[in-house]
Structure 1
Amino acid sequence: MDLAVRRLGLAEPGDCASLRSVPIEAPISIEVCGIGYAVMMATPSDLRDYAFGFALSEGLVSWPHQIGDIGIHEAEGGWIIRLWLPPEQAEYALERARKRVSESSCGLCGIENIEQVLRPLPVLTTGITTSRAAVARALASLPDHQPLGRATGAVHAAAFCTPDGEIIRAREDVGRHNALDKLIGALATDGIDPATGFILLSARCSYELVEKTVRAGCPMLVTISAPTSLAVERAIEAELTLVTLARADSALIVCDDRGRIR
């Protein structure tokens, strides 16, 4: 949406009226088998991808075909995503829904104690070989896949890259977790194996993003910002190659396991 603003001169003299694009942030209600599961604050675009990615990241399903149906409906003040699961998946989802209070898909929803937060991650078993030139190529082309980011300067992007650095899918959202969920959903519905490339994020590298990447089965995560301590610990545990502070001139390899960079 466009917003009328007044530009205030600080280093440069002079004020002026202007129009500024701002991203839409809206409540997205997620229902599972007719029961309210969560309400997320997100950008209401690519919601079908988001529904698939959210279900996969939350562990509600293991494969997209396990989702029976998805309904997406605009409602007063926001949107509703309705997921329908077969009985074996629905029972687990409904049990979590009874406990779940959430504002963002952060990986902590419905968890009752510290031990569950630190539950073991699966160890990645497949890897890729890429190059520093490929990482640089992906970084250089990321702005071309951020139309909303260019217009507003207020959203995150998640991109999936081939080993030679070509971005083949990208999604944007006001929430970094949501952007990654949308990307995971897009890969799943398009039949693209996350194990065949690496994920690039325009966000701080928090542990939730590491966990979502590992659970998706992707062997390498590249972020433009620094990692947290728990993100590093979880990446090492899962043998995820983690590359942070990625810039045009350099990057920091935090751990180097399943993704080999030549």
Structure 2
Amino acid sequence: MATTRPAPQTDALDAPERPVHVPAPVLRVRDGRHAGADQDSLAEETPIALEYNGVSHATLLATPADLEDFALGFSLTEGIVESAGDVRDLALRVEPQGIVVELEIASACFARLKDRRRAMAGRTGCGLCGVETLSEVVRPLRPVPQGPAVRLSAILAVQRQMRERQSLHERTGATHAAAWADAQGRLASVREDVGRHNALDKLVGALARAGRDPRQGIVVVSSRASFEMVQKTAYTGAAVLAAVSAPTALAARLAHEAGLALLGFMRGQDCTVYAGAGRILIDPIPDPATD
């Protein structure tokens, strides 16, 4: 995922701030009994509208944080732009109903976008609302570059590190996370959102804005692995997608086609490898005769 020039940066002083969680009065019930009134924290979700060259393209519900990362990552993984350098400018505009992200993209990218307009009336976790044709659903995947195998111990370490950095989930219990680490398991970035696709797009955008090359790295997500999660990960060139829950059958097929290692049911030292087992270094099964 090459970056031809630094991605546009939004001045933090000018960026709109919205709470990512809000207090809410609740009634606690424990063991079927009234346990009293209390206060909880709820993860916020806000309509986020994406405009390209002044034309509205998509509206999704997302956690109102890291929106520059989200807009760039969405633009990259949806194939709207080829690199971060194709985004000439990016600005956030707060409106009463939500936040508008205004992107100015290269004219060639905008011309392609007009050829395949999508009207995505978004719902949390839904990446396909409004897709107009079947060919837009499963787009051709770039083959993941060949590289050295990744140790399972490194992948498991990334999952543990990611969990420790899920501060919004720790407070609300309502958000997903996506993390990227290098092949040695050194964690570089974590992003959270109420939507699993949004969290992954934020991660991709964060890597692009930082000028990091995600190829041969490890992507770990706190959700199931749908086919779109495979699509977005394959776009980055990362060697591994590891999910806390299960993949779908289509996700496993696409991972096979792209040469992506796909792991699911990450629990402690356990996991299931659904595709790309040759990319993973796993300790051999113990031989009872040598015990």
Which TM bucket (shorter chain)? over 0.9
**Larger radius of gyration, structure 1 or 2?**
2
The 3-state SS of whatever aligns with 1:134 is helix
Q: Distance in 1 between matches of 2:119 and 2:281?
A: 40
Structure 2: unaligned runs, 5 residues or longer: 1-21, 283-291
Q: Distance in 1 between matches of 2:195 and 2:239?
A: 23
Aligned length: 260
Residue 176 of structure 2 corresponds to residue 145 of structure 1:
no
| Pairwise CA distance, 1:160 | 0.3
User: CA contact under 8 A between 1:38 and 1:102: conserved in structure 2?
Assistant: yes
Q: Tell me what 1:9 maps to.
A: 30
Aligned counterpart for 2:119 among listed residues 87, 91, 100? 100
Structure 1 match to 2:239: 219
Q: What residue is the counterpart of 1:55 in the other structure? A: 75
Aligned pair partner of 1:38 in 43, 58, 74: 58
CA contact (8 A) 2:46 2:61 kept: yes
Q: 1:174 aligns with which of 194, 197, 200?
A: 194
Distance 2:237 2:278 in 1: 11
Q: Secondary structure at the match of 1:195?
A: coil
| Aligned-residue offset at 1:116 | 4.0
Judge which range, 168-177 or 100-109, deviates more: 100-109
Shift of 1:193: 0.9
Please state if 1:200 is matched with 2:220: yes
Structure 1 regions of 5+ residues with no counterpart?
none
What is the distance in 1 between the residues matched to 2:120 and 2:70?
19
Question: Is it true that 1:67 corresponds to 2:60 in the alignment?
Answer: no
The corresponding residue for 2:103 is 83
| 1:26/1:183 CA distance change after superposition, 3 Å | same
**Quick check: 1:248 aligned with 2:273?**
no
Question: 1: CA distance between counterparts of 2:85 and 2:278?
Answer: 28
Q: Distance in 1 between matches of 2:225 and 2:26?
A: 32
Partner of 1:158: 178
Q: What letter is aligned with 2:28?
A: R
CA RMSD of aligned residues (A): 1.8
Matches of 1:246 and 1:256 in 2, distance apart?
A: 16
The structure with the greater share of residues assigned to helix is 1
Matches of 1:128 and 1:102 in 2, distance apart? 41
C-alpha distance in 2, partners of 1:77/1:118?
32
User: Aligned partner of 2:121: which letter?
Assistant: S
Give the residue type in structure 1 aligned to 2:225.
Answer: C
121-130 or 210-219, larger mean C-alpha shift: 121-130
Pairwise CA distance, 1:167:
1.6
Give the 3 Å change call, closer, same or farther, for CA 150–81 of structure 1 in structure 2: same
Cα separation, partners in 2 of 1:248 and 1:94, compared to 1, 3 Å: same
Are 1:209 and 2:229 an aligned pair? yes
Shift of 1:27: 0.2
Q: What's the secondary structure of 1:246's corresponding residue? A: strand
